[in-house]
Amino acid sequence: MKIGLFDSGVGGLTVLKALRDKYPEVDFVYLGDTARVPYGNKSAQTVIRYSLEGAEFLLSEGVDLLIIACNTASSYALDVLRENFSIPVFGVIEPGVKHALDTTKNRRVGVIGTKATVSSDAYGRLLRSKGIEVFQKACPLFVPLVEEGILNGDIAQRVVEYYLTELKDKDIDTLILACTHYPLLKPVIEEFMGESVKVIDSAESTALEIMPFVERSGSSSLSLYFTDHSPSLNFLIELILGEPIDYKLLTLPCKV
């Protein structure tokens, strides 16, 4: 089978990485909308339009299952995409929330993400509807840290400490990484939070969630598309996927 992933940029590559690790005999197509990144500061209507455009391209590539590997697009566009397309469509929010619900014992869960994700309260609403006490914290320096390749060492540790100290006092036993960039900082975050806190990585949660729908295709192709070049694109592809992979530039047909 062929799985399509759509993201506003490079963050969703962590989801692709988790999927490829788990399902080596599947074909993948990834589209990152780097020409219009970030989505977090755009209106719901605009994000839905961009997501439809991205999804239509992936459908035209013959994918059998679609993953919105972007928190903002998952929050705004999941329902619309499910209505518009007949193949299974998954976001990254529900899998992370489900995984956290299965994990927490004391029903106190932390959520960290971008300012946009935290202020959208998409995770908070879902978790509170299940009776969970939620503690959220935006960590705006994490994405630039990851995009600079600073994933460990002194600076990464101190920035993690800077944001997460207040969550450490909240007696949470589960912490959701609600941003697709954050799995790259998972080791530093786990080390800081300590063994009493289980760190949930939505990339891995999403890989688990789709398991019932996955069929081995016997091949393992990967096509990467981005809507704009950026100086660090090749660096980030290799950083996240662990190997250099060429990408193609795609101009999405604009609907407005």
Chain residues in the site for a copy of itself (CB under 8 A) = 41, 115, 119, 140-141, 144-145, 147-148, 150, 154-155, 158-159, 162, 228, 230-232
Q: Please say which residue, 36 or 168, places its beta carbon nearer to a copy of itself.
A: 36
Q: Please say which residue, 25 or 161, places its beta carbon nearer to a copy of itself.
A: 161
Q: Which residues of 69-96 are buried (b: 16+ CB within 10 A; e: fewer)?
A: bbbbbbbbbbebbeeebebebbbbbbbb
Residues 6+ apart with CB under 8 A from 30: 4, 5, 6, 7, 12, 13, 16, 69, 222, 223, 224, 225
254: annotated active-site residue:
no
Q: Please say which residue, 85 or 235, places its beta carbon nearer to a copy of itself.
A: 235
Please pick, among 70, 77, 146, 233, the residue that the annotation labels catalytic: 70
Is the separation of the CB atoms in 127 and 111 below 8 Å? yes
CB of 117 to a copy of itself, least distance (A): 12
CB of 158 to a copy of itself, least distance (A): 5
Q: Please say which residue, 115 or 128, places its beta carbon nearer to a copy of itself.
A: 115
CB of 247 to a copy of itself, least distance (A): 16
Question: CA-CA distance, 112 to 256, in Å (whole number)?
Answer: 34
CB of 57 to a copy of itself, least distance (A): 22
Cα 147 to chain center, whole Å? 15
Please pick, among 37, 78, 179, 240, the residue that the annotation labels catalytic: 179
Residues 6+ apart with CB under 8 A from 19: 3, 5, 26, 28, 67, 206, 207, 210
Give the active site residues: 70, 179
